[in-house]
Amino acid sequence: MRQRGVALITAVVLVAIATVLAARVGTEAALDLRRTAGIGALNQGWHVALGAEAWAAEILRKDLQDSQRDELDEPWAQPLPPLPVDGGTIEGGLEDMQGRFNLNNLLRADGTVDEANLERFSRLLRLAGVDQRFAGALADWLDADTVERFPDGAEDGVYLSQVPGYRAANGPVTSTSEMLALPGFTLDDFARLRPHVAALPAGTRINVCTATPLVLAALVEGGTDFGDAEALARNRAEGCFPLLTDLQATLDADQYQALAQVVAESSSWFRSVAVVSIGTSQLTLYSLLERNAAGGVRTVLRSSGTE
């Protein structure tokens, strides 16, 4: 009788173990299948996004043939609504990165700080509601020397005291998110400033046809009065606004002469944003595109997921 009881218990235990193992195998198989499907969808999304990037490059080439200005009423500036692709959709658009302040313009070609652009960036920080002391800190982050600017600079002595410690870049930034390395610069600060700044090769000009209201207002001391975002949008519905001639008429001769070297009505640097959704997977591809004077377009930088 005791032996039969032991055998029954053993059988129950074996069945329980077999059930657990079967459930584990089934769960692992389902997860493997889900992971495989996700990887396949992301791989498909990547190729679809690359196709959107090539399409954006073609739009920019054609735009240069049709117009010497880059304006927000042109085809390249219109967002791409969700379009069907195999198993999902794609949407996105093109952004003119020269409608923003180029952080690398804080330095001249010889590596010294460009004081005029430093003042413009300081005004932009103030207009965006960000502490102006970060202008000097970023200038020190970019320049090659180890001398702290007074009173707001920061060099290795400051950064090595952080936890964990690190050193200043002492070179151009490749992403605007590098500003988050500045001690005290918060995510909220970055969110307020991000739509108005770019990380491009030094020497690029600001396109007044596409510049944000804050970038336009920060161009000169005292600001430029071309209205808020809604007013600019209305005036830009039919072309470039403000034109360089509008700036010239608004500013005094000395102000315009100083500004003429940093503004333009055309652009060479754009960013393509492609958002591909396939099944439950989503991929966002950011592509920094450079268009040369002959109309050739090349991809300089790609990132996925974040800008």
Please give the full DSSP string across 28-74, using - where no structure is assigned: HHHHHHHHHHHHHHHHHHHHHHHHHHHHHHHHHHHHHHH-SS--TTS
Query: Domain-by-domain residue ranges, the chain?
Result: 2-98+269-304
Section 144-156 average pLDDT: 87
The model's pLDDT over 186-203, given as tens digits with 9 standing for 90+, comes to: 999 999 999 999 999 999
Is pTM beyond 0.85? Reply is yes
Cα atoms in the 13 Å half-sphere on the side-chain side of 222: 4
The model's pLDDT over 19-63, given as tens digits with 9 standing for 90+, comes to: 777 777 777 766 766 666 668 788 999 999 999 999 999 999 999
According to CATH, the superfamily of the domain at 2-98+269-304 is: GSPII I/J protein-like (3.30.1300.30)
Q: SS3 of 98, please?
A: helix
Section 177-194 average pLDDT: 96
